[in-house]
Each structure stands twice: as structure tokens, then as C-alpha cells.
Structure 1
């Protein structure tokens, strides 16, 4: 049943069972207060008079107290003084819910760094002095030049910003510095949508669904509308190489490809209090691609390891979304692609929209502004598809909270027509127990009038989408510098431990500690650039060559912004896993890349006996082998780059 509460903090409504204890109601009331003394809490059925201390009603149910559905209860209490607070924490009173009060979900949740940043900022949009209307001095301010609120509608219209950012939306719901300074203003303003039947029913007057239903437990009718905010405002790809590497599989096989976006969230200055997702890599899970689609194995078994690996980076990374290709080459010109997704067809199909909703439901965003501690999701859906001129472009979307709630309630399904979503039929069987309320959507008819129409049996998928911008940075500074290692789970390019060892041997990594620092800096840089590859690091984490502890050192070191410093490799060189790699590399090193370790640089080296003299005399373009130390010189100098002796 529904119990209404009125106190100095405001008006509240709680859904409780008639058999619930008065202690349950007390706990609900105290959640709406800050610094209340539970021992002074009293309730009454009148605004003044008839107050009864809650402590004297312990153990009684709400029905026994005569409370019915919709009753209004007046609450009064005295606030704690600072001296009283320690005593209350240690109180043994059975109705003191202070321990539960201190563990409310929205108070203990750990938000993302970008959320912590924006909560500390003013968020207002600064404006310069208007020379036409401002008649004051440079240190004064008027209505024409004073800062705007981040949710100012005129600013968004002028700059063609369709959706409020998440924190602008929060600021609109709870303005900073407003007169509402009571504890009610500190309660979470966002409530996750739910279109499910409430079980058990708050009224308690009938059997649970599907055997019974009433207005107290059934969801209200739904009117589909554009979501006023978006959780992510911009998708930024750290480097064009990230997209090019992902497209490589389709270019070679013609089969579609799927990948998880590995990146992080940062503030986005182009939108008031905006958030952008920066993609540093694309990790491709096991999949089967076809020319017209693909199939995935979900849940993804490797996800926990990948998340832990990303968290070890110098700038912690996570999964910020996913990307897939929908590309078909034109029959006339195989170098061009078909223009499939446009205003006259669809942007995301109904099947893709439902999949996006499931991904977002599985990855909620921690939020202090929701009573559950989570609200919506920042998982981005990106599509690589053909453009009107035959090129390839990225489109980025999220699906709305209404879409997620409808998928969670099992209300919608995909249609044969990709731009249409079907509304399922109601099912009262015990197995599914699906209740589908009335669903409507609005549109403008041919006369420009807004019309409300039933969404049953189907409606356009655009009503569930939230689009965002995307782009590349003008001055790319990606965390990962290499783009050469084969990508995981591709049949056309295989990853192997022997391939890693052979490349380290070619780079003469086993000898890096034996060389002088100045002479060795170039080789160190080559090794660092080779190792700074997401796909290589993710592969090493699956092998027995690198321990989990050393893997964290590898990841944090090789994603450092100071990779150009030769000393950055020192942390990696000191690990046991590096010694293991070097043991295998020494065994795999070809003779031409293994100078005698007993002779110092600059001295005479005996030529390896297993190298035929005629091989050393070959005229290989761009490569000259030193007859003294057998090193392959690629420069144009007359002396060897290692031993310094003449090459002739």
C-alpha cells in the first residue's frame, strides 16, 4: 500500500506492505532526513497534536496501527547536535537505523573520474562583454554578459546541441545555490525507469501478477519521446590507425566484424558539462563473420581479464562501447561501398537497438544521483558503414532509457523491416508473465499538426535512439604507439609466442642491458614502440611468459606518455617475466644478430663460422653487413654502427 509522509523536509510517498513493521516505515522516513535524532521521531494523523513517539510503537505492523492505502502521516523530529552524534552511532536502540542510513547506495557508490570532476565545477557558460548592449565597465556584469546556466535552451539551440549533457541535466533538476537547502533537495533526483508489474503489489489486496493486477502495481501508459539528455556527448577515436586496423579484416575477407571499444571517459569542452568517450583500441572477441552479418559468443569469457588489464594502464581504461561493420562493396566498383543507412532507410535496425539496450542494461553507470546507486549507461554503439559518396564513415549512438526499460520488461522485439520495432502481445502465462501497457508516440502529420498514435503493433526505431558526434583529435597522442602486431581471434592473422620472441630477437632485446646507455637509446626506443601495442599486451596476458603481476608493470609502463625517454624501459627490464622472454629470445636469435658477448664494442669480433663468406659479400640493397662483427648496417656511413670499424 501507499503511505504518504509530510515533514519539514517535504512530501514523500512510500510503498509498503500492510504487514510491514513500523520500523520499516521509520527507516524510510529517516532516509529523507539528514542528521535526524531517531529517538525524537514522532508521527501523527494531524498537522498538530496527537503526536506519538515511534519508539513506543515498536513491533507493531502498519495494518495494526490502522494505516490504510493512501493515508497521510505527519512526521516531526529533532535534529542531532554534534555532541550527540557519537552517542547515537553506538546506540543499541532496535529502531535506530543509523547504520543503514550511512550505507545508502547513492552515498557509497564510486563514480567515474569525469563525474567527480564535473561535480566540483560550476559549469556555467562564460560570455564576453557585449559591445552593443553592455554599458558598464570592464569589471561589471549585466544580463547581456553574465554567465549562462549549462542547461540554457537558447545557447543549445544557437549551437545546434540537440541533447543536454548528463551533468547539465542534473544541474537543471537540482540548481546549485538554490533556496532548497533542506535534506529533501539532497535526495537523488533520478529514478531508473521500470515498465514491469510490481511484485508484490503495494496494496496487498490481491494475488501477485499474473494471477492479479491493479492500478497500484501495473505500469502506467507509455508515451515515447525524445530523451532530453545523453550520457555521452562525443566519441573520439585516439588515432586513425585504430579504425584502419579494425577495417583490415573486412578489406581482406569481405566479412563483417565486431569489436569492443577500449578507452576512457573525459570532459568534453564543446558541450556544456559534456562527456566524451576516447577510444584507444578495439579488442575483437571470438566471432563468426559473414558478408551480411556476424554471430558472437556472449557472455564474453575474457571480459574480466580485459577489464583488469585496461585498468592497469597509465590512464586507466575500460570498455566504453562496441563497434561493428555493415559494409557492402558496390558491384560496379569494389573500392566503393553501398549507402545503406540514411534518413530514408534506418540508422540502427530494431535488432541492433535491442542488442544495444541489453549491453547498456548490463553496464550501468555508477551515480550518486540515483537511489539505486546506478543510472543509465555510457556504453556507446558505433557503426562503420558506407557513405553517400561510396566512402566509409562512423556513426555513434546510444539507446534511450525508455528503450532499456522496454527491453527489460520484454515488451518489444525486432521486426523484419529493420527500421520498425514490434510491440509484443501481453502474455499471462506463468512462465513469461508479460504485461504490456498502452504505448503511444507523437509525430507531425502532413498538415504540420502533432498527432498522438498508438505504437501497437509497431513504431519507428528512431524514437529509441540518442545520437552523438564523433571525430579524431587534431593532434593525436595515442597511448599505444605500435600498429604491427596481429589482432586476436582473426583467422587471417595468427598470434603466436614464437612470433613475439622472434621479433624481440630481431630487435636484439637480449643485449639491451649489455650496451652503453647512449649507444643503446635507439634500440630501446624500437623495443618500446614494438611492445606498446594493445593487442600484443592482451596476448601476453594469456601466455605463460608474463606473470599477472608483471603484466600490470608492462601495461602501465608501455602506455606512459613519456615513451620517448629511453629510461622508461627500465621498469620492464627488471621483471622476472622479461628475463623469461629474453631466455627464449636468445635461443631464437639468428647468428647475424648475435655479436660475441665476450668482446667489448669497438673491438675485433670473430666472424661466426656458420655464416658463409659469400653471404657476407652479397650486395643487399640498403643493408651492409660488417665483416668484423656481422652486424647489419642500414645507414650510409662508412664505419660500422656497432664496432666502429670500416665496412670495407
Structure 2
């Protein structure tokens, strides 16, 4: 017979024989309540009262208890007692009480957040010549400062999104004396089923209720953005990144190294300033690339970046999506436009994954973290076929949907697919109703279900971008070979030693022993050392200790290095620098050997050069320079590959 059971875990149906013992029913109920104490179970034929303990009914059949097919019984129980360990019973005096610690109060925010929290952010206005009738020192409704979230100001200045701190001002309590003023106003989005459920029933997919299931989702434009502007500190940063694509035609990916600063074009704005690009190991293709995540070098790169005079961090990532046109190879296919897509669904899901793994520390969230400032930058073609940057973030709704495994990429790059619900144990997926709004042909707002798919634009947040009018990059040089470009650019210690020999680095003393007229040598050395890729490479050579590498990074990123060259003195005194100078002296004094030449030139090229030299001698040319070799005017290295830059010092031939 079928017996219906109602408990605080929910409603259940069990198929049992009429002659089954009551203990068999108890065993079935225990499967739905693993944390229950079996000795406390009671059963009744009504919601309140008339309860009988299962232990007193042992040995009796269901039929003998008067239970029939489809009957409903009510079961109650108490949870198992949690054992108290000696360590928790007698807390140590040195361990703080976690219950009294509010996480958001202990968070260390980014300096740009600390700055904006100290400002009121109000938008100043001048005296209105038409309506202001008060004295010079007076103020009225026509000239008083505006709040940073003023809608009319944003509309007049074509600012689509509120800045993060303007949004905090808008949603925060207007009075500091309010009872809620001390509570964080932000709530991180989550579309996952709550596990365990607050009501106590078995977790999804065994059961679900209104207390644990996420509400229906209405996709809408995010009113704020975490980063308002992406600024590239120097055009050389982008040119050097594009060099790999120009040389091979393969797409490239890189992590943006920089910092966050206030942005004055938006009320309480934040901009990400990019100082360098680090290229992780990757496999480029004509129409895409393969990238390994997580990348092994991330902890080292983050630690090295943080050692700069003004600490740097990873502020985003950049990749190319460029295809030359068949008619004119100097121009590229215009593929990202209003009639196509700006950001593909696959790119949006990748961006959401990256943003979710790089949250922003925030005192305004109960978890101590909220959203992300990681920016997605795409090098793509403009309408006239030139190369330009497009910058985006994805919304918090996008991050929450990816975290809940609700969406996937589509064959159509401008469309996002909503996944089907999955009740498989271990990989269960609950998908609530998803809607999006749009204006129809009559100009009316219409709500439509997002299943099975919806436009990717509903997940995007636009970020402006540009270059500074007066560039002052942290790194003075970008000539050194770039990492992870095998066959195109090779980072080798020999290259460093050759360049140092050209700069006469072993003979450059510290400022105390400097001779008149030698300042230009120190300045050249300082400028050459101030190269992100050089410092990152030296960190892998083991020539410098970790402390010396951090010192090197701090010195070469000093904004006053070229004006105050005495800042080089601590570096010149390190053991790592002296070791490098010893190698440089020995290399300069050693005669060139055939073995070193074989290392620099592929064997087939070397054989060809040798044959040409032999032919020249046979013709009585006196052994002049080979036609395949180009002498670098800077370091006198013999370049045999015909490239535009020197293989050793990286400078133009």
C-alpha cells in the first residue's frame, strides 16, 4: 500500500506492504532525515497532538495500527546532539571570537577605494547667471553641488553607468545615525540552490522548496560598473603586443599589469591604468588560441608586480581578434558591429569565470568581497579596417549564472543558451525562469522568456578606453624580448649580457664614485633596466635573489629614476648585480668561438654562410662580409635571420 508521510523535511510517499513492521517505515523515513535522532521519532494521524513514539510501537504491523492505502501520517523528531570537543569547550584566550568579528570591517581595500570613501563625491556647479539672485558667497538650488548619482547629469554627459562608489552613495543610508548605516548595503548575487535548506529538508535534487530555490531572473542592464575607463599608459605596450600577430598572423592573449586610479571624467570614477602586458604560455591559431588555466606563473607575476614603487596588479586581460581582408592585407575584417556582435557568448562566459575568480575586496559587502574590476580588452578591426581596442566587463548577473552553471555558448556568437535542468545526483542543476525585456516594433516594453536563448548584450557592461595626452609610463623601455614567444623572440641571459656590454655597464660606478660626464651612461642603463619583460625574465634566471629582484622592480619603476640616478646605487651593490657584471666582463674578454656561433645561428643557415664565404674567397673577394649577415650598429652582433630588430639587444637594425 502507499503511505504518505509529512515531516519538516517535506512530503514523502512510501510503498510498503500492509503487514510491514513499523520499523520498516522508520527506516524509510530516516533516509530522508540523516541528521535525525531515531529515538525521538513520533507518529500521529493529525498535525498536532495524539503523537506516539516509534519505540513504543516496535513489533506492530502497519495494518494493526489502522493504517490504510493513501493514508497521511505526521512525523516529528529532534536532531542529533552535536558533540562538544574539549577545544571548543575551553577556548584559548589567544583565539578571537569569530562570532564577534564582522568580516567586512577587517577588509583591506584598494587605495582607490580608500580615496573615494574619504570624499563626498558631489559634483560642483558654478553660479547660474539666469536664476541665481543671491550674493557671491550664497548658494541655491540652481548652483548647489549635485549628488554623484544625479540622473540628469549622467544623461547630459552620456554616462551610461554609475561608478561603483556613486552607486554606493545612491543605495546607502542618507543619515549616519540610521540603524542600518553600519551594515553593508551590497548583497552578492547567487542563483544556486541553498544547501542545506534553511527549512531542513533533503538538499536538491532530493527536495526543493521556496526557502532554498532561487527566484526567477529578469535580465537587465547593470546600473553600475566597477571600472569606468581603461587607460593604456603607452602606445608601445600595444605595439609590442601586436608585433607577434603581425609577424605570424596567429592570435595572442596577455594579462594586463597595472593599477587603479581615480577617474575624473565620471563622478567618483575609477580607471584601470595598464603599464605592461604579460603573455602566458599559449598556442595561437589564425582564428583563436588555446590557453592553459590556471597559469602556473600567476603567483610569481602577482608578487613581482606588487613590488613596484607603486604596487601593480592584474587589472584585466587582452586578446586579438584580427583577420586581414583578402582584397587588402593591410586592413582587417570588420566583424564586431551592431549587426553582428560586440562580445561573443563564449567570451562573455570566460569573462564571467575570470571575474568571479578575481573579486574586489569591499567593506560594503557582508562577505568582504563584491564583483570584480577585471577588464576584458579586445583588439579588433574598426569599420575602416584599422586596429582598435574594445573594453568590456560582464554583469554580476552573468557571473552568478555562470557560477550556477545555467548558461553556455552558442554557435551564433551573439546568442547565449540557457541550459536544461539536471536532476542527476552529483551534477544537479536547477534553472529558474529567466526573462529579458525589450521594446517591440510599437515601442512597448515587452517581457520575453530567455529560454532557450537570449542576446549576449544583456550580460555586457561597456568600459571606455584611451591613451593619456601626456604619457608618463612606469616602465621606460619596451625593447627586451617578450616571454613565451618561441621562435619569434627568445629570452636568454646571453642577450642580457651582450646589451650590458654595449652599455658598458661593468664600468659604471655608483653615484659616489661617478666621474663628470658619465651621467648619460647611467641614464641609458637606468632606462634599459626599466623594462617589465626584462625584470620578469631576470626573476627566472636565479642570478638575483628574490629580495634583489624586488629591489630591482622597486628601483626601475620609480617615477623619478631618470632625474635622480643615485637610486641605482642599492642595485649596483647587490650580489646578483655583481655576479651579472662578472659574467659580462668575462664574455667581453673571451674571443668568439665557433660553438657560440653555432648556438646563435641554425646549422643550415651557418652552412649556407660558410659556403658563401668560401665562394667569396675563391673569387678573390678577400673574405668580405656575407650577404646573409646584418651587423647591428648598437651591439655589433651579426644577425643572420633578416629580421628588423637585433636578436641580442632588440634594437632596430
Partner of 2:587: 588
Q: Indicate if the aligned counterparts of 1:263 and 1:320 stay in contact, CA closer than 8 A.
A: yes
User: For each residue in 1:247-283, what CA deviation from the matched residue of structure 2 results, as whole angstroms up to 9, or x when unmatched?
Assistant: 0000000000000000000000100000000000000
Q: Indicate if the aligned counterparts of 1:413 and 1:422 stay in contact, CA closer than 8 A.
A: yes
* Structure 1 range deviating more: 369-378 or 560-569: 560-569
- The alignment's C-alpha RMSD in Å is 2.7
Partner of 1:513: 509
User: For each residue in 1:399-431, what CA deviation from the matched residue of structure 2 results, as whole angstroms up to 9, or x when unmatched?
Assistant: 000000000000000000000000000000012
Counterparts of 1:100 and 1:343, CA distance in 2 = 52
How much does 1:589 deviate? 1.8
Partner of 1:77: none
Q: Which of the two has higher C-alpha Rg?
A: 2
Q: Indicate if the aligned counterparts of 2:175 and 2:181 stay in contact, CA closer than 8 A.
A: no
TM, length-normalised to structure 2 = 0.75
How much does 1:179 deviate? 3.5
Partner of 1:124: 122
Corresponding residue to 1:144 among 128, 142, 145: 142
How much does 1:496 deviate? 0.2
* Residue pairs, 1:32-47, within 5 angstroms: none
Counterparts of 1:244 and 1:622, CA distance in 2 = 22
Counterparts of 1:451 and 1:526, CA distance in 2 = 64
Q: Indicate if the aligned counterparts of 2:506 and 2:585 stay in contact, CA closer than 8 A.
A: yes
* Residue pairs, 1:560-575, within 5 angstroms: 560-564=558-562, 565-575=564-574
Q: Indicate if the aligned counterparts of 1:506 and 1:589 stay in contact, CA closer than 8 A.
A: no
Secondary structure class of the residue paired with 2:97? helix
* Residue pairs, 1:241-640, within 5 angstroms: 241-491=236-486, 492-513=488-509, 516-564=514-562, 565-589=564-588
How much does 1:98 deviate? 8.5
How much does 1:122 deviate? 1.0
Corresponding residue to 1:186 among 171, 182, 185: 182
How much does 1:93 deviate? 11
Q: Does 1:160 align with 2:158?
A: yes
Counterparts of 1:537 and 1:252, CA distance in 2 = 24
Q: Indicate if the aligned counterparts of 1:287 and 1:296 stay in contact, CA closer than 8 A.
A: yes
| Structure 2 CA distance for partners of 1:578 and 1:269, relative to 1, 3 Å | same
How much does 1:208 deviate? 1.1
Counterparts of 1:106 and 1:216, CA distance in 2 = 26
Counterparts of 1:463 and 1:326, CA distance in 2 = 22
How many residue pairs get aligned? The number is: 512
How much does 1:519 deviate? 2.3
Secondary structure class of the residue paired with 1:162? coil
| Runs (5+) with no aligned partner, structure 1 | 2-16, 21-62, 66-91, 593-614, 616-620, 625-648
| Structure 2 CA distance for partners of 1:302 and 1:622, relative to 1, 3 Å | closer
How much does 1:103 deviate? 2.2
Q: Does 1:230 align with 2:199?
A: no
How much does 1:102 deviate? 4.4
User: For each residue in 1:183-215, what CA deviation from the matched residue of structure 2 results, as whole angstroms up to 9, or x when unmatched?
Assistant: 4221011011000000111111x2111111111
| Structure 2 CA distance for partners of 1:449 and 1:200, relative to 1, 3 Å | same
Secondary structure class of the residue paired with 1:382? strand
Q: Indicate if the aligned counterparts of 2:228 and 2:263 stay in contact, CA closer than 8 A.
A: yes
Secondary structure class of the residue paired with 2:477? coil
Runs of 4+ in 1 over 3 A off after TM superposition: 514-517, 621-624
Corresponding residue to 1:196 among 192, 195, 201: 192
| Structure 2 CA distance for partners of 1:591 and 1:64, relative to 1, 3 Å | closer
How much does 1:218 deviate? 0.4
* Residue pairs, 1:44-63, within 5 angstroms: none
Partner of 2:113: 115
How much does 1:590 deviate? 5.6
| Structure 2 CA distance for partners of 1:93 and 1:562, relative to 1, 3 Å | closer
Partner of 2:86: none
| Structure 2 CA distance for partners of 1:209 and 1:239, relative to 1, 3 Å | same
Secondary structure class of the residue paired with 1:264? strand
Counterparts of 1:164 and 1:531, CA distance in 2 = 40
Q: Indicate if the aligned counterparts of 2:249 and 2:286 stay in contact, CA closer than 8 A.
A: yes
Counterparts of 1:211 and 1:173, CA distance in 2 = 38
